[in-house]
Amino acid sequence: KNEVEQSPQNLTAQEGEFITINCSYSVGISALHWLQQHPGGGIVSLFMLSSGKKKHGRLIATINIQEKHSSLHITASHPRDSAVYICAVRSYNTDKLIFGTGTRLQVFP
């Protein structure tokens, strides 16, 4: 079992819908990252969190350290949000980044 689990693995939505992607992890962490990977392959860092909540435009990321859980929300989703969203945690013990397998999101007009 991977130390970072994401759900769902695949998600389809209609334009305008509110999207939630979940990430659970089983190790102690110093930080959690949300990344976006477009079909071309390039990865863009969306957020780095160690506590609480961050917002950037239509994207909101939250983390609950006690429950070892983070969520990425997209409000008013748009077809250009279609991508793979990857959760990654930095292990407190090893300093290494551990990646989830990603959530593939497709938003239809």
Partner 1 sequence: ETGVTQTPRHLVMGMTNKKSLKCEQHLGHNAMYWYKQSAKKPLELMFVYSLEERVENNSVPSRFSPECPNSSHLFLHLHTLQPEDSALYLCASSHGQGARAYGYTFGSGTRLTVV
Can you read off the two tokens belonging to residue 73? Answer: 């929300």
Can residue 103 be called a binding residue for partner 1 (CB under 8 A)? no
Interface map 71-100 toward partner 1 (x if CB under 8 A): ---------------x-x-x----xxxxxx
Question: Is 89 in contact with 95 (CB distance < 8 Å)?
Answer: no
Can residue 2 be called a binding residue for partner 1 (CB under 8 A)? yes
| Residue 74 buriedness (CB in 10 A; 0-12 / 13-18 / 19+) | buried
Among 14, 44, 52, 75, binds partner 1 (CB under 8 A): 44
Can residue 49 be called a binding residue for partner 1 (CB under 8 A)? no
**How far apart (Å, rounded) are the C-alpha atoms in residues 108 and 90?**
33
Footprint on residues 3-22 left by partner 1 (CB under 8 A): 4
Question: Is 4 in contact with 88 (CB distance < 8 Å)?
Answer: yes
Instruction: Tell me which residues touch partner 1 (CB under 8 A).
Output: 2, 4, 30-31, 33, 35, 40-45, 48, 86, 88, 90, 95-102
